[in-house]
Amino acid sequence: MTADTHSVLGGLKPLSRLDHPREMIRQFTPNWFAATMGTGILALALPQVPGIGPSLKPVGEVLWFFNIALFALFAGLYGARWAMFGHEARRIFGHNTVSMFIGTIPMGLATIINGCLAFGIARFGNGIVPVAHVLWWIDVAMSLACGVLIPYMMFTRHEHSLDGMTAVWLLPVVAAEVAGASGGLLAPHLTDPHAQLVTLATSYVLWAYSVPVAFGILAILILRMALHKLPHESMAASSWLALGPIGTGALGMLVLGADAPAILAAHGLAGVGTVAQGIGVVAGLCLWGFGLWWLALATLITIRYWRAGVPFNLGWWGYTFPLGVYTVATFRLGTTLNLGFFSFVGTVLTVALAAMWLLVGAKTLAGAWRGNLFVSPCIATPN
């Protein structure tokens, strides 16, 4: 039993580090939704492990249900903060870092929507597909808003510098490509051919709305690290965030390319569908290769940080979702190309993802119980 778990099970009074339990609401920030991203992607990855996937599917389903409860709890707490402390809650829009985490809300919702397809159909029947479809459009609207409004505030209200830049800048813009990949998973389950076409076309637009911007940020991030070295230890996990748009970009191209032939052929565009399928495979493979480089780099950076000792914070959830979506893209390449190499690599990555989820989850549970993780920097630094 870890010291973190022992502090919870040992009877320590909950929220003991807060002046009043109400502070949990007052200090609640969107950073917590990163936990739903990490939990959701692990739930989706487990059933895809070759050989033992069917045995792991019940575990993934339990995690999916847990993730729904977690998302509902966080949404309730954040909604309560706006209702009770709205004058402080709105300060988030002027905060250089915390505002970026607004993008974790639609991305966390996307994992729940994908779970409706992976687990909900078998559990509740096809009636859950229209529910997932409605939730997906809500997710699309939030992702589009995050992708443009947060950068707009960066350009007009925030104070940024190259030496202070981190991969957190990616969070608001990546939400759209996550929604796009989710649309690729959703489209084949829709019964209306027109709805399938609209979902497919919208998903391609979402991919284009996000990926070029994200890759522009990645180019600047490489320059920033070459000139100013690694960011502060409190942002140690941010090195993994770059793997998110790469892995999601690959997954999006693969699933949309797989959808395209049947959906476009039904609308007289069979030739376009065949081309889209080929582009999807090649683009997915190329992006996976880029992700492999960043995975190796992030691993080396993490070893360096951890040797020096890194204090825990909610940013550690940044280790999970990027690794998870890259893992799912790896499995997809394995099934698309029928190459066992990708299945093996995906299995190894799933083990690493599960281990990291357990570690970060235990530390988050302990910190939430004590109350020391409920900190809102935008209150400490008024705008």
**What pLDDT, in 10s, does the model give residues 161-217?**
999 999 999 999 999 999 999 999 999 999 999 999 999 999 999 999 999 999 999
Rounded to an integer, the average pLDDT of 334-356 is: 97
CA 51/CA 58 separation, integer angstroms: 15
Token readout for 54 is: 């069917």
Taking the CA atoms of 145, 147, 151 and 157 in sequence, report the sign of the dihedral they define: positive
Q: What is the mean pLDDT of the chain?
A: 94
Rounded to an integer, the average pLDDT of 4-13 is: 57
pLDDT digits (tens, 9 = 90+) for 102-123: 999 999 999 999 999 999 999 9
Per-residue pLDDT for 381 more than 90?
A: no
pTM: 0.95
Higher pLDDT, 12 or 255: 255
Q: How confident is the model at residue 4 (pLDDT cuts 50, 70, 90)?
A: low
For residues 305, 308, 312, 318, the Cα torsion angle rounded to the nearest 10 degrees is 0
Q: What's the confidence (pLDDT) of residue 1?
A: 44
Q: CA nearest 236: which of 316, 118, 153, 179? A: 316
Q: What's the confidence (pLDDT) of residue 17?
A: 87
Q: What's the confidence (pLDDT) of residue 235?
A: 86
Rounded to an integer, the average pLDDT of 87-96 is: 94
Rounded to an integer, the average pLDDT of 260-269 is: 97
Rounded to an integer, the average pLDDT of 152-156 is: 96
Give yes or no for a contact between 377 and 314, defined as CB atoms under 8 angstroms apart.
Answer: no
Per-residue pLDDT for 325 more than 50?
A: yes
Q: What's the confidence (pLDDT) of residue 9?
A: 47
Per-residue pLDDT for 290 more than 90?
A: yes
> Considering only 134-148, 298-312, 348-362, which range has the smallest mean pLDDT?
298-312
Per-residue pLDDT for 301 more than 70?
A: yes
Q: How many CA atoms lie within 13 A of 380 on its CB side?
A: 9
pLDDT digits (tens, 9 = 90+) for 28-49: 999 999 999 999 999 999 999 9
Q: What's the confidence (pLDDT) of residue 119?
A: 98
Q: Could you identify the residue written with the tokens 């609401």? A: 25
Q: Could you identify the residue written with the tokens 């502070």? A: 23
Q: CA nearest 287: which of 214, 359, 233? A: 214
CA 175/CA 304 separation, integer angstroms: 29
Q: How confident is the model at residue 329 (pLDDT cuts 50, 70, 90)?
A: very high
Give all domains of the chain, ordered by start, each with its CATH number. Answer: 18-360 (1.50.10.150)
> Considering only 58-72, 202-216, 226-240, which range has the smallest mean pLDDT?
226-240
Q: Could you identify the residue written with the tokens 């939430």? A: 368
